[in-house]
């Protein structure tokens, strides 16, 4: 006899009912890794809504879930699958449903439990005595029978074939509920990374329930086509690329994509959290601690940005400043433009779009809403048009030394669409032909950007640095310290050769160097965070040069007291010093010269004293030697007279040395006073 499937009978025993589902109605995709999903639908009285998510998405769901009953009923709460491992959750049940185990293995664990059976037209009820598999005599496993033995209400023990059972039910409602919960856990475990959220409807009658939440989602990507015609403003097409990896189809959803980067993070709300509890005391047992209050912060109002129409008008004014002939030639600049001028331009072909998205400001963000419902099957992606509009722009060349010898074909565009343009790649078409590709960051309405999409082989540019020039700009003295500021001027020359027979507009990007600033008369057309931009008009088949002068101001300090008179005279020759400064420095120089002369006299006197001292020592030794020899009285007398004369000289030199030292102290005091009062 065919064995009854275990799962089928257990489902019958548990009486599990399927949960209602809410289809996805709206999807909003952002640029920072999350998506907003909104579901809604009608459910009957007493029904439960089940939403299924990936386990790693539960933190975001619990952080952002919003529930609304549009019938006015209150929502009491939400149930969801706990994150505790399945084995840990199942071990508290009084039975085990082992994989691939027969029904008898399950029922045999429940000896003593009351069960009701329906066996065809017959019904049976009683307490479970045991359940086992009766082996077939011919050892054919297909002939094995699953049986259950019951102690009936009539105190009889009867054995029944479970293959004939069409209905089973435990007599104990608690046991029936335990089995229901156990099977619900097993049902959840079918997908190891899926978790369910249950919403129970309260009240009578039908409900119209809406649920919205955030979950991780791939960022949407933008892709543009910039189409230049031979005349008029270029056209910009924008396409949004979206990916549906949510695990279910988006059927006719209202889709929006948002440009901007709001702050988002992951908080662990799904996993159970345990925390050590602090030990507390009564207030009177705890010393009071100081409280620190934060100070207020004032913020200045920023200048109001120019509107998109105003910037577009300024752009057109710049464009019309050149002659009409030069403007038309610039639109076809470069060797590629010269070739296109020799043939008839193709008509510009834009995409035929059913509709584009409606844009609106969403606080600090910008949202594109697709008016028509969108369908994207699970595991698929879609490319949807959100923009097709004229905008202000012109073609030109951009040069940076990092490019090498040739500048790049480029375009200057002003976002005059009134919408935020999300960052992404741009494919450029010129007169119906592919011209190159560019990449642009997000451009707010009214903002201007440069994009480069090719190399202009018809223009060559080289650079060279000129010789540096150092010029002292300022000299000051205060509190005995001389401070000088000198400027080191450097010039970078750009040599440009246009080999094409058409004029071109060129923007030179000159890098900003720390500590350097531009010197007049050159002025950049605009300045970026790390570069100056200069616009130069190149003549047809001409060679031109452009010089950028910069200076770096350095400051040097030196103590006036440490300067020699010659060093002071060198500083006094600088033309930036006025008469008063020269007079004060000259007084200091004179005093330093006096000190130098006095120091020389001191050195000379010291040297004379040292020489006399050595001579006196020699004379004394000679006298001592001659006294030991008879008949040497006359030489001894002569040496004695010299010794006495030298002593007189020594006394005079010592007086002179004392006077010179006193004079040195006086001169140094006078110099210090001069230095202290010198200021200019």
pLDDT in tens, 393-440: 999 999 998 888 999 999 999 999 888 898 899 999 998 899 999 988
Task: Give mean pLDDT, residues 641-660.
Answer: 89
Residue 374 C-beta-side C-alpha neighbours within 13 Å: 27
- pTM beyond cutoff 0.75: no
Task: Give mean pLDDT, residues 284-298.
Answer: 41
Neighbours of 541 (CB within 10 A): 13
Q: Is 382's pLDDT higher than 90? A: yes
Stronger pLDDT, 279 or 99, i.e. the higher one = 99
User: How does residue 308 score in pLDDT terms, banded at 50, 70 and 90?
Assistant: very low
Plot region of 284 (φ>0 → left; ψ -120 to 50 → alpha; else → beta): alpha
Stronger pLDDT, 317 or 387, i.e. the higher one = 387
Q: Is 303's pLDDT higher than 50? A: no
Task: State the pLDDT at residue 313.
Answer: 52
Q: What is the DSSP letter of 74?
A: P
Helices of type H across 288-379? 308-321, 324-331, 334-341
The C-alpha atoms of residue 655 and residue 665 are separated, in whole angstroms, by: 16
Task: State the pLDDT at residue 341.
Answer: 39
User: How does residue 191 score in pLDDT terms, banded at 50, 70 and 90?
Assistant: low
**99-113, 253-267, 319-333: the lowest-pLDDT one:** 319-333
Rounded to a whole number of angstroms, the distance between the first and last alpha carbons of the chain is: 118
**13-22, 103-112, 152-161, 518-527: the lowest-pLDDT one:** 13-22
Q: Mean pLDDT in the chain?
A: 82
Task: Give mean pLDDT, residues 440-455.
Answer: 89
User: How does residue 277 score in pLDDT terms, banded at 50, 70 and 90?
Assistant: low
**55-59, 329-333, 560-564: the lowest-pLDDT one:** 329-333
Q: Token pair for residue 113?
A: 């439990």
Task: State the pLDDT at residue 374.
Answer: 93
The C-alpha atoms of residue 52 and residue 57 are separated, in whole angstroms, by: 10
Task: Give mean pLDDT, residues 18-45.
Answer: 86
- 264 phi, psi to nearest 5 deg: -145, 150
Q: Is 547's pLDDT higher than 90? A: yes
User: How does residue 522 score in pLDDT terms, banded at 50, 70 and 90?
Assistant: confident
User: How does residue 85 score in pLDDT terms, banded at 50, 70 and 90?
Assistant: low
Task: State the pLDDT at residue 346.
Answer: 55
Task: State the pLDDT at residue 540.
Answer: 94
* The most confident of 176-185, 193-202, 227-236, by mean pLDDT: 227-236
Q: Token pair for residue 538?
A: 């190149």
- 611 phi, psi to nearest 5 deg: -65, -45
Helices of type H across 555-632? 565-572, 579-626
The C-alpha atoms of residue 337 and residue 197 are separated, in whole angstroms, by: 62
**6-15, 217-226, 262-271: the lowest-pLDDT one:** 6-15
Q: What is the DSSP letter of 8?
A: H
pLDDT in tens, 96-148: 888 888 889 999 999 999 999 998 888 999 999 999 988 877 766 667 889 99
The C-alpha atoms of residue 503 and residue 332 are separated, in whole angstroms, by: 9
Cis amide leading into 521 (omega within 30): yes
Asked if residue 393 lies in contact with residue 232, where contact means CB atoms within 8 angstroms, the answer is no
Task: State the pLDDT at residue 288.
Answer: 46
User: How does residue 298 score in pLDDT terms, banded at 50, 70 and 90?
Assistant: very low
Task: State the pLDDT at residue 333.
Answer: 41
In whole angstroms, what separates CA 627 from the centre of its chain?
101
Task: Give mean pLDDT, residues 215-240.
Answer: 91
Percent of the chain with pLDDT over 90: 35
Task: Give mean pLDDT, residues 305-324.
Answer: 48
Task: State the pLDDT at residue 279.
Answer: 66
């Amino acid at each position: 006899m065919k064995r009854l499937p275990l799962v089928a009978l257990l489902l019958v025993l548990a009486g599990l009912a399927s949960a209602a589902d809410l289809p996805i109605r709206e999807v909003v995709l952002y640029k920072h890794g999350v998506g907003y999903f909104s579901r809604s639908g009608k459910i009957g009285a007493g029904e439960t809504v089940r939403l299924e998510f990936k386990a790693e998405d539960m933190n975001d769901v619990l952080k952002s879930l919003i529930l609304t009953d549009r019938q006015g009923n209150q929502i009491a709460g939400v149930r969801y699958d706990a994150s505790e491992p399945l084995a840990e959750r199942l071990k508290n049940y009084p039975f085990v449903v082992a994989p691939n185990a027969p029904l008898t293995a399950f029922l045999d664990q429940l000896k003593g439990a009351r069960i009701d059976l329906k066996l065809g037209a017959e019904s049976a009820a009683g307490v479970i005595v045991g359940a086992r598999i009766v082996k077939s005599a011919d050892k054919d496993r297909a002939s094995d029978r699953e049986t259950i033995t019951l102690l009936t209400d009539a105190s009889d023990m009867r054995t029944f074939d479970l293959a004939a059972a069409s209905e089973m039910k435990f007599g104990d409602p608690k046991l029936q509920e335990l089995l229901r919960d156990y099977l619900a856990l097993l049902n959840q475990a079918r997908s190891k990374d899926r978790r369910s959220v249950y919403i129970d409807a309260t009240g009578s009658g039908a409900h119209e329930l809406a649920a919205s939440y955030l979950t991780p989602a791939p960022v949407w990507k933008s892709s543009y086509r910039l189409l230049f015609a031979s005349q008029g403003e270029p056209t910009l097409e924008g396409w949004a690329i979206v990916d549906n990896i949510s695990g279910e189809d988006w059927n006719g959803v209202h889709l929006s994509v948002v440009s901007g980067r709001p702050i988002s993070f992951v908080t662990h709300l799904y996993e159970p959290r345990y925390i050590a509890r602090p030990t507390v005391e009564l207030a009177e047992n705890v010393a009071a601690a100081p409280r620190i209050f934060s100070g207020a912060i004032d913020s200045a109002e920023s200048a109001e940005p120019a509107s998109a129409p105003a910037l577009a008008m300024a752009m057109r004014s710049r464009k019309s400043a050149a002659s009409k002939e030069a403007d038309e030639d610039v639109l076809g600049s470069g060797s590629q433009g010269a070739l296109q001028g020799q043939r008839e331009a193709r008509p510009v072909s834009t995409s035929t779009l059913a509709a584009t998205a409606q844009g609106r400001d969403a606080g600090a963000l910008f949202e594109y809403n697709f008016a028509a419902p969108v369908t994207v099957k699970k595991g698929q992606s879609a490319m949807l048009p959100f923009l097709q509009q004229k905008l202000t722009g012109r073609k030109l060349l951009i040069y940076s030394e990092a490019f090498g010898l040739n500048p790049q074909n480029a375009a200057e565009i002003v976002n005059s669409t009134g919408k935020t343009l999300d960052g992404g790649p741009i494919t450029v078409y010129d007169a119906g032909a592919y011209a190159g590709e560019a990449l642009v960051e997000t451009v707010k309405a009214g903002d201007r950007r440069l994009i480069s999409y090719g190399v202009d082989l018809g223009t060559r540019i080289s650079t060279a640095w000129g010789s540096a020039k150092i010029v002292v700009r300022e000299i000051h003295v205060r509190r005995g310290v001389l401070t000088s500021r000198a400027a080191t001027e450097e010039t970078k020359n750009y040599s440009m050769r246009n080999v094409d027979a058409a004029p071109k507009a060129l923007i030179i990007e000159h890098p900003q160097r720390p500590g350097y600033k531009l010197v007049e008369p050159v002025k950049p057309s605009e300045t970026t965070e790390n570069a100056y931009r200069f616009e130069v008009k190149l003549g047809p088949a001409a060679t031109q040069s452009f010089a950028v002068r910069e200076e770096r101001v350095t400051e040097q300090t030196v103590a006036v007291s440490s300067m020699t008179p010659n060093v002071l005279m060198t500083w006094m020759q600088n033309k930036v010093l006025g008469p008063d400064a020269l007079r004060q420095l000259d007084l200091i120089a004179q005093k330093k010269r006096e000190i130098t002369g006095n120091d020389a006299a001191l050195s000379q006197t010291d040297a004379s004293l040292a020489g006399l001292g050595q001579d006196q020592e020699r004379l004394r030794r000679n006298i001592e030697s001659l006294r030991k020899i008879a008949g040497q009285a006359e030489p001894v007398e002569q040496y004695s007279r010299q010794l006495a004369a030298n002593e007189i000289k020594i006394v005079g030199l010592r007086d002179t040395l004392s006077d010179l030292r006193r004079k040195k102290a006086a001169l140094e005091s006078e110099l210090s006073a001069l230095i202290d009062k010198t200021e200019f």
